[in-house]
Amino acid sequence: MKWPEAWRSLSGIFHSPGVNLMDRRTFVKASCVGSASLFLDGLDPKAFGDVTLPEAPPIEVVHGLRPAKSPLGMPGLFPGRVVEVADSKSIVRNRVSQPVVRDMIERGMKELTGEPSAPAAWAKFIEPSDIVGIKINPSGAPACCSSPEIVREIINGVQSAGVPASNIVVYDRYEYEIDVGSYQALLPPGVHVVGIQDELVDSGYDPNVYCQATFFGEWENRSYMARIVAHGLTKIINVPTMKDHSASGVTGCLKNLGYGTFDNVARSHRSPFSFTDPLIGVMCSVEPLRSKAVLHIMDGMRQVWHGGPLTQVQEFIHQAGILYFGTDPVAMDTVELDVIEKKRRDEGAPSLWEHSAESITNNGMEFYHDPKKNLFYRRPGHIASAGKLGLGVADLSRIDHGQIRLG
Amino acid sequence: MTSEPARVDTDWPALLHDNSRTGGLGIRAAKAPDHVRWHVRMGSSVRSAPVLRSGVLYVTSMAGNLHAIDVEKGRQVWQFQAADHIHSTPSLSGNKVLFGCDSGKVYAVNCDSGKPVWETAAAAEVWTSPVVRNGVVFFGGADARMYAVDVDTGRKRWTQELGGRVYSTAWVGDKHLYLGGGDGKVYCLDVSSGKTVWSTTTGNGIDSSPAVAGDMILIGSEDFFFYALDAETGAVRWKYETGLGISSSPAVWEDLAVVGSKDGFLYAFEVPGGRLRWKMQISDVVTAPPVIASGLICIQAGGTQAFDIATGSVAWRAGLGGAVQSAPVLTGDAIYVASNDGEVYALE
């Protein structure tokens, strides 16, 4: 789709003269964000390792234009706070109930913000003049993706803050994945549904905002930020799913945001090694993504505890019926990691921290059907690394995790 | 009884062969291909199905191009640039090829020259395939409207506001047209006025396109069910629950309706009573529509696959033509498939 002209003018056309590129350039060394010290339910991740993992190379970051200073940017208004709302009626026989998730979202938003009404809660984050992006995760569609029912209710919430449908953009990287999820048909008229990247064309990215590092000798060692994030949107609401991830350990707020905003990200992991730690957190720290991502609503209707992010095997998808709310993506992902880790333990699957050579396979079918197998040595330490970059709280004992059960 | 549009036997002028939506070749069989005769790169993904007439294959692409390809030589004859991405499967009427694009424009382009004849516009993207019936072109848009325009001029006859986005290509008869809406309703509209005759609510949005078998409307819904509705009243005659939502559109052959589900299965139903004759897991996910040749069902799911219509057993598989919503064109001698990776293949 094409951008409306009004949005183009808002974007400042990609680059402001007079801004010194060097002012926007930073280097992140792996040693600054390394995952050696973590707080995971008292577990030392090193205890699971019998393989020495390579250290990540330094990552050069060239930021885009940072919006005016605001307390809304990550970790946002409520650092360290996670609100969990559960309702057993929210997903029945794999169908998400629209009215039940409506109540859950209203309750979660009020609980997160302390506001007496849902519209007031939405207004803490969104102004009527905003162009709001809703970053979905369709990559596991149709088995596990951001539920259209939840996205509809988020759209309702954004509209309650005075934003017209024409200034709401539901987006992700690949349009064909959005298509498999049928979001185009299922969302309200007037809302834009955008795939940033045609499978063959990378025209949706800004060549002036990027992360650069060479992980495996790849010839293209930059990942560019999506133009829609760098320029088009003024606020982003992140709607990740809850999944284990073969390379990063879990995919939650941080990975959905970072790897869904930049291109050329698959280069960070080549079996069996992964540099998703620290790249995921570094990407989330890049401006203006960091400032624009103001709210995260994690879809835990379905929780993938093995085979993520793309599995379609229902055996490993737990229909949990939970939503998480927060502004701190690190705290939310820390809670998610804890939940997925416990679920795997309950199911007799190895820890996400396990780095055993015996667990590695190159056989996709074996990986998808055997929870003891994986394609990479997972790197869940990317969450703590993001915490070290100031994106939030990675210590479970310091996270204010409120739990509400509606039914 | 619902009036059947006339069949065209030699060409493949519309989505799923022709407006009767049988998606089939009649008595001609589609033989198993053993080689690629040619392939053409479109330069961007293809999300639509090709159509064929008089030795020319018409393909739309995400780069916003309509390509005319000589199927004998495997070479492009001409190319037309539209205003935006194209997801719409083209359709052929007279000497015009019709399609919509993401800017909302709907074009009529001269088949011989590739020059535009007329254009009209919806207020949002048009992914549906225009359907031509008795000199009128019908199409729906993401603006939640159904449009009827004159096939010669593009002048609007009527516009009908519906309750949700329209990604379902209409089935059009003499008096009524049928489609599904993003609001979860199956609509029956009067073809002369656009007024709603009846609507039936399903449990979630619809992007499947309906087929008609006898006096029943067949359509899938994202509520996981496949529906057979009474064409006159919209009453549910029968429905069948699959494992996930249904974006695939049904193809009908004699008393059998075949449709894919996102649960990865292909389902074959006996139309009169809704009895499941067979189901077969063919992929992780099925969203594309099947087409039917004599004795065979052909569908793009992963690659291109063919199944025995009586049993659902695999007849052959070709590792080409990965697609989300495309469907092959079967000629009896060749199979033409387009894919997400932007290739169009002629298989023999």
- B155-176 confidence digits (pLDDT tens): 999 999 999 999 999 999 999 9
How far, in Å, CA of A189 to CA of B153, rounded? Answer: 28
Domain ranges (residues) in chain A: 5-13+78-211+224-405
Chain B residue closest to A4 (CA)? B103
pLDDT at B293: 81
Segment B242-270, tens digit of pLDDT: 999 999 999 998 889 999 999 999 999 99
Give which of A53, A9, A73, A1 is closest to A380, Cα–Cα.
Answer: A53
Chain A residue closest to B43 (CA)? A200
- Give the 3-state secondary structure of residue B230: strand
Give which of B99, B106, B98, B108 is closest to B122, Cα–Cα.
Answer: B106
User: Shortest CB distance from B207 goes to which of A185, A189, A200?
Assistant: A185
Domain ranges (residues) in chain B: 36-347
A202 touches chain B (CB under 8 A): no
How far, in Å, CA of A386 to CA of A277, rounded? Answer: 9
- Selected residue with higher pLDDT from A20 and B181: B181
Handedness of CA A352, A354, A357, A358 (dihedral sign): negative
Segment B217-230, tens digit of pLDDT: 999 999 999 999 99
Could you tell me what percent of chain B has a pLDDT over 90? 78
A186 touches chain B (CB under 8 A): yes
Segment A102-133, tens digit of pLDDT: 999 999 999 999 999 999 999 999 999 999 99
Min CA distance, B247 vs chain A (Å)?
A: 7
Chain A contact set for B127 (CB, 8 A):
184
Contacts 24+ apart (CB under 8 A), B108-112: B108/B137, B108/B151, B108/B154, B109/B66, B109/B80, B111/B53, B111/B56, B111/B58, B111/B68
Provide residues of B within 8 Å CB-CB of chain A. Answer: 43-45, 47, 62-63, 83-85, 102-103, 124-125, 127, 142-144, 164-165, 167-168, 182, 203-207, 222-224, 243-245, 247, 262, 264, 284-285, 287, 324-325, 340-342
3-class SS letters over A328-342? CHHHHHHHHHHHHHH
User: Quick check: B262 and A180 CB within 8 A?
Assistant: yes
User: Shortest CB distance from A142 goes to which of B83, B168, B245?
Assistant: B245
| Dihedral, CA of residue B69, residue B70, residue B76 and residue B82, to nearest 10 | -30
Within 8 A by CB and 6+ apart from B120, the residues are B105, B106, B147, B149, B154, B155, B156
How far, in Å, CA of B323 to CA of B339, rounded? Answer: 5
Asked if residues B139 and B147 have their Cβ atoms less than 8 Å apart, the reply is yes
Out of A74-83, A195-204, B89-98, B226-235, least confident range: A195-204
Could you tell me what percent of chain A has a pLDDT over 70? 88
Segment A185-214, tens digit of pLDDT: 999 999 999 999 865 555 789 999 999 999
- Give the 3-state secondary structure of residue A75: coil
How far, in Å, CA of A94 to CA of A173, rounded? Answer: 25
pLDDT class of B294 with cuts at 50, 70, 90: confident
- Give the 3-state secondary structure of residue A397: helix
pLDDT at B27: 46
How far, in Å, CA of B158 to CA of B149, rounded? Answer: 7
Pairing between β-strand A241-245 and β-strand A293-304 as defined by DSSP bridges: parallel
CATH T-level assignment (fold) for domain B36-347: Methylamine Dehydrogenase; Chain H (2.130.10)
Segment A243-280, tens digit of pLDDT: 999 999 999 999 999 999 999 999 999 999 999 999 99
Mean pLDDT of the residues in chain B: 91
Q: Looking at the predicted structure, is the pLDDT value of residue A30 above 60?
A: no
* Residue B286 half-sphere exposure toward CB, CA atoms < 13 A: 30
Q: Looking at the predicted structure, is the pLDDT value of residue B304 above 60?
A: yes
User: Shortest CB distance from A189 goes to which of B127, B165, B245?
Assistant: B165
Mean pLDDT for the stretch of residues B48-55: 93
pLDDT at A4: 46
* Residue A17 half-sphere exposure toward CB, CA atoms < 13 A: 0
- Selected residue with higher pLDDT from B320 and B55: B55
**Which residues share a beta bridge with B38?**
B346
The sheet that has B51-53: what strands, in order across it? B51-53, B56-60, B65-70, B75-81
Q: Which residue has the tokens 């309906």?
A: B210
Mean pLDDT for the stretch of residues A228-240: 96
ipTM, 2 dp: 0.91
The tokens for B303 are 């690659």
